[in-house]
Amino acid sequence: MARAVEEKRSQLVVGLDPRLDLMPVELRGDAHLGPASAALSYERFCCAVIDAIAPHAVAVKPQLAFFEALGSHGIHALEEVVDYAQGAELLVIVDGKRGDIGSTARAYAAAYLEDRGPLPPLADALTVNPYLGGDAVEPFVTACRRQGTGIFCLVKTSNPGSADLQDLALSDGRPLWQHVGELVDHWGETVVGEQGLSSVGAVIGATHPHAIADARRVLPRAILLMPGVGAQGAEPADLRPAFALGPASVLVPVARSVIYAFRSDDDDDWRSAIGQAAARLRASIWTASGW
């Protein structure tokens, strides 16, 4: 990841959230006929997005829910999209927010972070819910150590409702999310790479600018995946304190304001509109990083 960031001078991750009602009309085809046709539309759209953003982004982040909603056809489309992205030399962060205990967690890790027989892992990294505790995260960390893959643990998420739980005060006055961040840092101690960054990263919402400096302090070796720029209202400049560990210490996932940029753009070429939106964001995020 660090090499990709430095080579492309980019921290942009483009979310792949395919929605038929927002996609270009020409790609919807017979999607209304059923899951198989809809899955093909998803695949065509996501691959076109990858072509448009590949020069500007370091990774894509397919959202599993949209593909899972189409059953086996959707999973096949996901596999095709992941293969296409990796062929375009993009890393793939699968957004599944998985988390469970024992054999179930091991199965999730095997599904996304480990070799699939003769095939490589489906994902380079996976989002994980750590709020079940250490035994639920350990199988994912083991897979990272064995395969060279990564995880991003939910710590302080970008949605407004995150405060309902994550901001609860502990007996020492700290919010709960900071304690979870300390656990994430501990879990990542054994998988630190050459750049001093861990394969166990953390999700910190860019929509909470007051928390960013604290997050970096609590997570001194984690790559921070920071959603919220774009449609959720955060600005790249808000992220500056998070970049203290170098240009690759923050990744910025953006979905709607890139992949559906054509819906508010005068450009008749929707592919061009997507590419231009990615280029603008890449440049503003790099500038904000200070590197």
Q: Which residues are catalytic?
A: 97
Tell me whether residue 130 is exposed, middle or buried, using C-beta atoms within 10 angstroms of its C-beta: 0 to 12, 13 to 18, 19 or more. Answer: buried
Give DSSP secondary structure letters for 134-181: HHHHHHHHHHHHHHS-EEEEEEE-SSGGGHHHHT-B-TTS-BHHHHHH
CA distances from 51 to 5, 255, 259 (A): 18, 15, 12
Q: How many CB atoms lie within 10 A of CB 290?
A: 9
Give the tokens for residue 248.
């690759």
Query: Which long-range CB contacts under 8 A does 234-238 form with residues at least 24 apart?
Result: 234/158, 234/205, 234/206, 234/207, 234/209, 236/281, 236/284, 236/285, 236/287, 236/288, 237/288, 238/206, 238/209, 238/212
